[in-house]
Amino acid sequence: MILEVLELLGVGVFAISGALVAGRKRLDLLGVVVIAAVTAIGGGTTRDLLLDRHPVFWIADPIYLYIILGSAAAAILYTRRFRPPERLLLVADALGLALFTISGAQIAEESGLSGIAVVLMGTLTGAAGGVIRDILTTEIPMILRRGQIYATAAIAGAVVYLLLQGAGVDRAAAALLGMSVVVSLRFVAIVWRITLPVFVLGDSDRDAE
Amino acid sequence: MILEVLELLGVGVFAISGALVAGRKRLDLLGVVVIAAVTAIGGGTTRDLLLDRHPVFWIADPIYLYIILGSAAAAILYTRRFRPPERLLLVADALGLALFTISGAQIAEESGLSGIAVVLMGTLTGAAGGVIRDILTTEIPMILRRGQIYATAAIAGAVVYLLLQGAGVDRAAAALLGMSVVVSLRFVAIVWRITLPVFVLGDSDRDAE
Amino acid sequence: MILEVLELLGVGVFAISGALVAGRKRLDLLGVVVIAAVTAIGGGTTRDLLLDRHPVFWIADPIYLYIILGSAAAAILYTRRFRPPERLLLVADALGLALFTISGAQIAEESGLSGIAVVLMGTLTGAAGGVIRDILTTEIPMILRRGQIYATAAIAGAVVYLLLQGAGVDRAAAALLGMSVVVSLRFVAIVWRITLPVFVLGDSDRDAE
């Protein structure tokens, strides 16, 4: 039940984030819808294929596709009239990351995966949709941009979710707190541009090639 | 039966389109074959994985791989002697898009998917091979180039295919008409450079970054 | 048994190669780990999904994920103190390519695939991890760079492996020889910059666009 709500919300916000990125690329209207759809279902589809869950969530229930159509339409209409708030995209993306990371971790948990695999599955589920969106629209994937704490936020959220449950915290509460960690870290990264230590190889002059 | 023929044709034309794109990139000969293969089987493989159809079509029957070898060899030999007609690539790609879009829609239909999921599955099946080809060869995906009406053509073809069947038209006839819609829209887009309304966000100065 | 060892080794060397490539891109530390993980498990995961082998190898046994963590940490620590040997990356990548190509071919063989499908599955298993790594880090995929004999090395190794077995050679010996072919071809290509004939279309002036 809680899982379904997470899933529906995550699909909606990622559809909006996909539509906004596509809008910057001067796609035609249906192209925007396709990018919105792929962004919204990419992470959950990756999760379902890896865990052999069939039918895949959006095939089992077409409501996800209607949510995508509605969200993309809303994003298009809104930005027709109003200047798109610069940060709306980042906020939608952070929420989608949080929702799918924890839903991916929960489903991996229910499939009996080990702790480390639960964390990786959560991260993949959260990040895959945005990565596919960025690759298709030839943006540098957000996961790679400096000072974004992107994969890090997903990993930290999934770890907190697991640790809290290990410490006896209620599952729904642990999920909410895990999501809060993801969103907070992303916001901290965006607002204060705080970064993790960066790993740089010695030959930095290579980059100049 | 009709499905198999569509599939064989689609594999052949996408293999040619993959070999031609790879040829522009100065790959070695076997690299060209790999790109041809991935282009040709990418869409159908995506479809089979999403619908849990195993074995995947080219694993079940190696004839597809022989067709790819033959088509890639033909494309290489032809372009050794003759100047490649500039539009041959676009024609091969349009045919592949039409054939795989409708075959994907038909298989999704047979799996009992809802109408909207049939359209998305057809579009993914048609477009995935070309998208993978473009990503691997670091071209901007054709789905994204302005005035290409690419995803739009696939969506329109799949919708027409479903509507015609709903109106009582024979399935094979509906399939042929759906494919004609895809190919016609692509040709119209290519020849007259007609475009759908483009969705552009207000902050177009961002693009200058 | 031999398969498991190949798999463990392949995961380790691809994790190192992923961490080294990510290190050039100034990712944060956990981002480096994610790229290392995706590089290391990408090929085997592609193979398992295509062959419907569930649970996927790294879900079935978390030891692979611990090997990735350890390899990525070792790569990061080593390059903190010592200048990264320019060729270490290429060597790790060549070994990973060889190990996964043959392990992919072996598993495809055991699944009863035809010879041509065994070769393609081996090539995909070997090359997919590196391709995903290069796409995520926005490098031109190594499979595409001139004079790399990349897909070619994988195809040749898989073919030699099959031919030797056909000639009555012991399976483990055929596997070792197949891997030697892959590594040798990569080294020849890297050291002497020997290339296969390149397939170039006539209109080379297009590239200047």
Residue A205 has what pLDDT? 37
Q: What is the token pair recorded at B137?
A: 């060869």
Q: Does B34 touch chain A (CB under 8 A)?
A: no
pLDDT at A93: 85
Confidence at A99, pLDDT banded by 50, 70, 90: very high
> Looking at the complex, does the CB of residue C18 fall below 8 Å from at least one CB of chain A?
no
Percentage of the residues of chain A whose pLDDT score is greater than 90: 52
Tell me which chain B residues have a C-beta less than 8 angstroms from the C-beta of C182. Answer: none
Nearest chain C residue (CA) to B52:
C52
Among the partner-chain residues C141, C146, C198, the one whose CB lies closest to the CB of B136 is C141
Q: How confident is the model at residue B197 (pLDDT cuts 50, 70, 90)?
A: low
| C199·B27 Cβ contact <8 A | yes
pLDDT of B194 higher than 90: no
How far apart are alpha carbons C209 and C204 in whole angstroms?
A: 10
Tell whether B56 lies on the interface with A, counting CB pairs under 8 A.
no
Rounded mean pLDDT, C53-60: 93
Q: Does C31 touch chain A (CB under 8 A)?
A: yes
Q: What residues of chain C lie within 8 A of the CB of B18, using their CB?
A: none
C195 touches chain B (CB under 8 A): yes
Adjacent-strand bridge partners of A28: B198
| Coil/strand/helix, residue C201 | coil
Mean pLDDT, rounded, for C83-92: 73
Q: Does C73 touch chain A (CB under 8 A)?
A: no
pLDDT digit string (tens) for A156-209? 999 999 999 999 999 999 999 999 999 999 888 877 765 555 555 544 433 333
Q: Taking the CB of residue C11, how many other CB atoms lie within 10 A of it?
A: 29
Whether C205 has a pLDDT exceeding 50, the answer reads no
Q: What distance in Å separates residue A5's CA from the closest CA in chain C? A: 26
A177 or B3: which leads in pLDDT: A177
| Banded model confidence at residue B61, pLDDT cuts 50, 70, 90 | very high
Residue range C66-79, pLDDT digits in tens = 999 999 999 888 87
Q: Do B201 and A20 touch (CB under 8 A)?
A: yes
- Which residue's entry shows tokens 């390899």? C71
Residues from chain B contacting residue A62 (CB–CB below 8 Å): 113-117
From C74's Cα to the closest Cα of chain B, the distance in A is 30
3-class secondary-structure state, position C96? helix
pLDDT confidence of A4, banded at 50, 70, 90?
confident
The model's pLDDT over A44-64, given as tens digits with 9 standing for 90+, comes to 999 999 999 999 999 999 999
What is the number of alpha carbons within 13 Å of residue A172 lying toward its C-beta? 6
Contacts of C51 in chain B (CB under 8 A): 55, 59
Amino acid at C73: A
Q: What is the mean pLDDT of residues C131-158?
A: 82
Six token digits for residue A163: 């640790």
Q: Give how far Cα B24 sits from Cα of A97, B55, B70, B170, C151, Å.
A: 38, 33, 19, 42, 17
- On whether any CB of chain B is under 8 Å from the CB of A31, the answer is yes
Residues whose CB falls within 8 Å of the CB of residue C68, separated by 6 or more in sequence, listed in order: C11, C12, C15, C33, C36, C37, C40, C41
Other CB atoms within 10 A of residue C110 CB: 11
Per-residue pLDDT band at C85 (split at 50, 70, 90): low
Residue to substitute from C45, C114, C199, interface B, most B β-carbons within 10 A: C199
C-alpha distance from C190 to closest chain A C-alpha (Å)? 18
Q: Residues 6 or more apart from C85 whose CB is under 8 A from it?
A: none
- Asked if B138 has any chain C CB less than 8 Å from its own CB, the reply is yes
The DSSP line for chain B is -HHHHHHHHHHHHHHHHHHHHHHTTT-BHHHHHHHHHHHHHHHHHHHHHHTT-SS-HHHH-THHHHHHHHHHHHHHHHHHHSPPPTTHHHHHHHHHHHHHHHHHHHHHHHTT--HHHHHHHHHHHHHHHHHHHHHHTTPPPGGGSTT--HHHHHHHHHHHHHHHHHTT--HHHHHHHHHHHHHHHHHHHHHH---PPB---S-GGGGG-
DSSP A198: B
Q: Is A30 on the interface with B (CB under 8 A)?
A: yes
Indicate whether A37 pLDDT > 70.
Answer: yes
Q: How many other CB atoms sit within 10 Å of the CB of residue B69?
A: 14
What percentage of chain C's residues is helix, strand, coil (to nearest 5)? 75, 0, 25
The total of other beta-carbon atoms located within 10 Å of residue B81's CB is 7
Model pLDDT for residues B20-45, shown as the tens digit of each residue: 888 777 777 788 888 999 999 999 99
Chain B contact for C11, CB < 8 A?
A: no
| DSSP calls for A103-126 | HHHHHHHHTT--HHHHHHHHHHHH
Number of residues that this document lists for chain A: 209
Nearest by Cα to B89 from C152, C205, C202: C202
Mean pLDDT of A11-23: 89
Mean pLDDT on C88-103:
88
- Look at A26 and A63; give whichever has higher pLDDT: A63
Q: Rounded CA gap, C22 and C34, in Å?
A: 9
- Please tell me the predicted confidence (pLDDT) of residue B196: 57
Residue in chain A nearest B150 by alpha carbon: A31
Do B114 and A79 lie within an 8 Å CB cutoff? Answer: no
Tally A–B CB contacts below 8 A.
92
Angle between helical axes of C115-136 and C150-166 (0-180°, round to 10): 150
